[in-house]
Structure 1
Amino acid sequence: MATAESKILEKIDDNFLVCTVCSERYRNAKILPCLHSFCEQCIDKLVQKSGGKNIPCPVCRRIHDLPEGAGSVQSNVFLNELVVLLGKRDKKTNEVQTCEGCQRDPMTTHCIDCAIGLCDGCISTHKRLPSTKSHNLMSRQTYQAAKSADIATVQPPVYCSHHPGNQLELHCDTCDIPICVACAALNHKLTEHNCRYLKDAASQYATDLIKVTDILAEKEKEAKESKENVLQMTELLENRFSEQEYKLNVHIETVVAEITAKIRKNGEALLHEMNNVFSERKQNLHAQLKELEIAESDMKHARDFATHLMNYGNAAQLMSAKKGMTSQIDELLKLKTKQHPAEDDYMEFQSNDDFCETKTLGEILHNKCIFEIKDVSKYYRIGDDVSITIATTGGTGVNCMTLKQKIQSEMKTPFNTTEEMKVTDNKDGTCSLTYQAKVEGVHELTVLVNNKSVQGSPVKINVIPKRRLMGNYSGSGLSQLNYHESVLITREGNVLVCDSGNKLLQLLTLDGKHKRMIQFTGFNKSFYPCFAAESQD
């Protein structure tokens, strides 16, 4: 029966320990700041190819500056230790059971520091040597049991690069690196640096890393969902393109007998325009898709690496990778993974019924636009031209000629009769609807474009008498007026009265109720307002 260790190692070997450049098991793995690892010789080739200043990561294509060349790339201690374990696992069964010292007697003891199995005779020699007498020895049975339970407990210790004989036992929080006791005494003194046991630092960082990997998992899920939405929108766009392309081709064939050459020429131009819109949108969606795929891949890789490191790495390996891994994870957490598709699928071919007049089969609509009513006054006098402007917002929409043809309007009078509205092209992207007011009262204007009601429709328009009093203003609203010289109706439907006797302006409603008063005081000379006017700005 396979042990837990062998299952773990087989899983890691298949998915985790193969260099993506040479497609072989790592040989002295080096880890880039983006957390992707490669063989040392593969990185050397990349550095030589780029001139030694910077290299692109073969996986994510990020550019990494290497001012000191390949030597500045950090070794991936975790991966290298796993490669060693896998190498030993791959040996034949009889070789594993035989002493790796004399290659003759049965193996009875395992040296954790040397990562080899020895017989009783070799162990005696091993204990007498000054360089190995302090090594951690474990019986073969105990070693196998410990390795099956927790592989990290039987991995060889990591030694200090500055003091090769010393194990990394401490962590300098000030410098954020693992150190040995000699380093603490010489270069990381307690009076200037904060140091603690490596296991304590690793335990705290592992706790923090668990929280971060949970967040990464959620963001990875968001990126995956966004990617699926983009794929779905791409498919919708392609379907819409096919439908509208077919619609356009059908229309081309319908009128081709009448003026074949002109129709085909115009049709090809429209197809080219539609293809350009389709290609641009699809390219934007593919670019967004690629970005989300990279984000998803980077987050999965970082999470897998962190998870393997936490589950199978020891404290020294965990803290050796902390600085680079923390920096990369921080960058990944900043990525915007919850996105809407960068483009929509709106694309429509609108046909024209009369090719001879318009000189075109139709037009390609690719921006959603909203038609709205503008420039409407609440009050018009009998005999005045009631003028309403129709404009578009939210996109380029259709041209004025097409808009004029597709407008449907209806002016309903207070007597429930319908009056005809005149449509005029303003030559500025808008159209005007005009009607001469004939009867007093509230009129209702309804406007449709493409059989759809425009924004602001229906709109109510109040037609007032040409000349005469609009109402009785003898009530309380005007009781304080002394000598009114000017009266006007504002665009909002209020009455503005200029009173020179009291030196004020008074604003009232149409039925004579007071709204506001402006008193003129503080002038050097006598001031008597005589006229009132409303700005047209």
Structure 2
Amino acid sequence: MAVSSDLDQFLNKIDDDYVACSICLERYTKPKILPCLHTFCERCLCGWVEKHGDLNCPACKTPCELQDGGVSELKDNFYMTSLVDLVIERRKLASGQDRVCELCEDKEVSHFCTECCQYLCVNCERMHGKIKATRSHKVRLISDLNEPEVERQSIAEHDVNCPTHPESKVQFYCDTCQVPVCIACTVVDHRVPEHAHRYLSVAADEYAVQLKDTVTKLKLKEDCIDTNMTAVKNSLFDQEKEKVNRKAEELVQSVRNEQQWLVNELHNGRDARIKETDILIEEFEFNHTSVNSARNYAETLLNHASPVQLLSTRPEVTRRTDELLKISDKWEEPVDGVEFDEAASDANLGRIKADACVKKCSIENFPKTVWKGDNTCLIVHTRDARGNDVIPRQKLNGTLNKPNGEVVHLKFSNNYNGTLSTIFRADVEGKNSITVTIDGQAVPGSPFAFSTRTGPVRTIGNWGNGKGEFNRPSGIVRDSRDNIAVADTDNNRVQIFNEALVFKDVLTFPKFKNPFKPRDVAISDDNTYFMTDSGNNQVVVSKQGGQLIRCFGQGELKDPRGIAIHPIDGNVYVCSHGSGAVEVYTQDGELLRTLGTPGRGQVVFKSPHSIASDSKGTLFVTNSVEVGHVYGFDTLGKLTMKSEKLEYPGCIAIHSDGCILVCNNSLFSWDSCLYKLNKQGKILSRIDAKEYVSMYYSGIVFTDDITSRVLITDRVYHCLRVYVV
């Protein structure tokens, strides 16, 4: 029986690319999978540990912490074991030697049972199909096994025996332990109710969907790293030198010495940056290799693995891919090493420093009151003895002295125009002061005293339908360019403001069947707007300029309220207030799942109102009609956090440091306040707006990722309120 050339190539590729250990270069013997998803023979790993003392992956150097049992305790790679067995078996079949039926041990084989792993003759195959216990088995013609496509399917159908009970086939998946098990395991080591089981095929189909999405993300991550690695390699430092030399040729002889000094400084900086670039390239290459390796392994599982093989390494694959997807793949090309002052006739090639006269220096724009937790800019104006602006040779020192005795050292940035500035944050209420010195001498007026406070800063807008006016505003969001979008619900529009809160644009959709009633807005990374429309029970997707892209959710959503885009998977999470659920969609509008249904560990929602996500992907939701809590949960609806008890938590925002800000609205008195919670849901503080009464907050957003300044929509006073918390 001669093997086809296509099958021969297929088997050779498996032999070379999949089942060869990169240490011994032979087929795997008892393959073990490491946390980084690389696989090696057990004996090879034992030899590696014996030689090196610890176990760092021989391929990528990722550390692997061994348990007390050593290498033998590492997880077996079911997939590679099965692949090796099948390759050996197919090689025997492809050798051309006649095989005898393994049942009657007489006649020549004509079929192969993929579940019994037995070769059968025509008569035994016919009997095999009549026996009740084996009639459902998948049986292949020997001639068909010469075709690569049939062989691939045969590999995926190959059953695996349980390592704990070798006489039993693996048929189930333990969700509790995340391992494939046999029927004997379900009544011994994985019995209910402590463990939950599912059929392998069901669990594998679900995980395959997740793994397919992971492969896509890994490919994007790999491409991004590759692009930036290429950009680093192609960066040309000589352009800086040419720029300096070209500028130097235009200058008079009086600045030749300054020219040479700047060129030398540029060379020194260039040498340092070349070293940094070499390190950066090495890091990009390492990350690219790791991501590529993980993607290839995941694709191999998708293309060739059976359900048990697919699920046997699920925890390791998930953990490793999560690690790799968090790798930074950004690179910004460095700016020019020299900046030119065209207006300064005596420093055309750069900036000339001089001694500052402390008595002539002063502090600009020093505030008398600072909002607690907010960032404040302090400017020092430096002059020489004649009162002229200078860039000082001396070092400026500054300290922030807090009421609790804590001292914070300030760092000044040179603005190269006769001023230096620093950003400070006063986070303790009471009397603070700042001391600024130059060469140990205090700048006139130093120390400068000021006080801090919290609460509302100002109010923007009022009732109406003009630009910057509102009618029962709801959700509010900030995009990547610091534009602010407000759902102006009863004006049937979304208003957009710039970072200074000046009106910029408006989104309206007058052609819908019912009036457009926006309740909340989410903005994707590419500045696409996703708006919940309770008037039409849908999500409206448009560009920033108002060009309608699509609508979705009409069949599932009832009175949609809060909306959020997950920072990791990019999916859209929508609070369906009327149906008591959170619906999960792709950005194209495909419904993926519904969260909030009882059972399987999901958090149960009553009337979900507001939803937000932190940078790690944990989702937080509030119920508008429930006295109680803020709930944190994962993308499958599993409860991960339950806050301390609140009154009536409404809209919610998450700061970049993980703290949670919740608007508390009384259903009876229309009085609102803010609660600040930590990551674990513990109440840190409560902030009341004593200046106002009868407010109702319905949307909240942080104005940036650093300060504690927030914007809140007030549905009673039809305005935006600026708070510092």
Separation of aligned partners in 2, 1:105 and 1:317: 34
Secondary structure at the counterpart of residue 87 of structure 2: helix
Give the greater-gyration-radius structure (CA): 1
Separation of aligned partners in 2, 1:117 and 1:278: 69
Going from structure 1 to structure 2, the CA distance change for 1:15 and 1:243 (only over 3 Å counts) comes to farther
Going from structure 1 to structure 2, the CA distance change for 1:79 and 1:49 (only over 3 Å counts) comes to same
Superposition pairs of residues 165-176 of structure 1, within 5 angstroms:
165-176=167-178
Superposition pairs of residues 74-473 of structure 1, within 5 angstroms:
74-91=75-92, 93-95=94-96, 97-99=98-100, 106-113=108-115, 115=117, 117-119=119-121, 136=137, 138-141=139-142, 144=145, 148-149=149-150, 151-153=152-154, 155-233=157-235, 236-237=236-237, 239-240=238-239, 276-341=268-333, 343-344=334-335, 346=337, 387-391=387-391
Aligned to 2:426: none
Which structure 2 segments of 5+ residues have no match? 342-346, 353-360, 365-384, 393-411, 418-437, 440-725
Aligned to 1:73: 74
Whether 2:52 is the aligned partner of 1:61: answer no
Going from structure 1 to structure 2, the CA distance change for 1:164 and 1:85 (only over 3 Å counts) comes to closer
Secondary structure at the counterpart of residue 198 of structure 2: strand
Secondary structure at the counterpart of residue 74 of structure 1: coil
Q: CA deviation at 1:163?
A: 1.5
Whether 2:32 is the aligned partner of 1:30: answer yes
Q: TM-score, normalised by structure 2?
A: 0.41
Separation of aligned partners in 2, 1:65 and 1:312: 29
Paired letter, 1:191 = P
Secondary structure at the counterpart of residue 178 of structure 1: strand
Separation of aligned partners in 2, 1:97 and 1:136: 24
Q: CA deviation at 1:326?
A: 0.9
Q: CA deviation at 1:202?
A: 0.4
Q: What count of residue pairs does the alignment treat as equivalent?
A: 356
Separation of aligned partners in 2, 1:4 and 1:195: 40
Separation of aligned partners in 1, 2:96 and 2:388: 96
Q: Check whether the contact 1:150–1:312 (CA below 8 A) recurs between aligned residues.
A: no
Separation of aligned partners in 1, 2:313 and 2:153: 15
Secondary structure at the counterpart of residue 195 of structure 2: coil
Paired letter, 2:281 = L
Q: CA deviation at 1:279?
A: 3.3
Separation of aligned partners in 1, 2:29 and 2:340: 60
Separation of aligned partners in 2, 1:348 and 1:104: 90
Aligned to 1:353: none
Pick the structure with more strand per residue. Answer: 2
Secondary structure at the counterpart of residue 177 of structure 2: coil
Going from structure 1 to structure 2, the CA distance change for 1:46 and 1:141 (only over 3 Å counts) comes to closer
Q: CA deviation at 1:224?
A: 1.2
Q: CA deviation at 1:213?
A: 1.3
Pick the structure with more helix per residue. Answer: 1
Larger mean CA deviation between 20-29 and 173-182 belongs to: 20-29
Aligned to 1:432: none
Separation of aligned partners in 2, 1:214 and 1:133: 39
Separation of aligned partners in 1, 2:227 and 2:330: 8
When the two chains are superposed, the root-mean-square deviation of aligned CA atoms in Å is 4.9
Larger mean CA deviation between 38-47 and 269-278 belongs to: 269-278
Q: CA deviation at 1:176?
A: 1.3
Q: TM-score, normalised by structure 1?
A: 0.54
Separation of aligned partners in 2, 1:116 and 1:223: 47
Separation of aligned partners in 1, 2:90 and 2:56: 34
Aligned to 2:358: none
Paired letter, 2:272 = E
Separation of aligned partners in 2, 1:366 and 1:32: 55
Separation of aligned partners in 2, 1:270 and 1:309: 57
Secondary structure at the counterpart of residue 282 of structure 2: helix
Secondary structure at the counterpart of residue 387 of structure 1: coil
Going from structure 1 to structure 2, the CA distance change for 1:390 and 1:12 (only over 3 Å counts) comes to farther
Q: CA deviation at 1:11?
A: 4.0
Paired letter, 1:301 = S
Separation of aligned partners in 1, 2:100 and 2:272: 68
Which structure 1 segments of 5+ residues have no match? 255-262, 351-361, 368-373, 378-384, 399-426, 429-537
Q: Deviations over 1:373-412 (max 9, x none)?
A: x9799xxxxxxx98331327967989xxxxxxxxxxxxxx
More relative contact order, 1 or 2 (CA 8 Å, 6+ apart): 1
Q: Check whether the contact 2:144–2:150 (CA below 8 A) recurs between aligned residues.
A: no
Q: CA deviation at 1:35?
A: 0.6
Separation of aligned partners in 1, 2:23 and 2:143: 39
Secondary structure at the counterpart of residue 169 of structure 1: strand
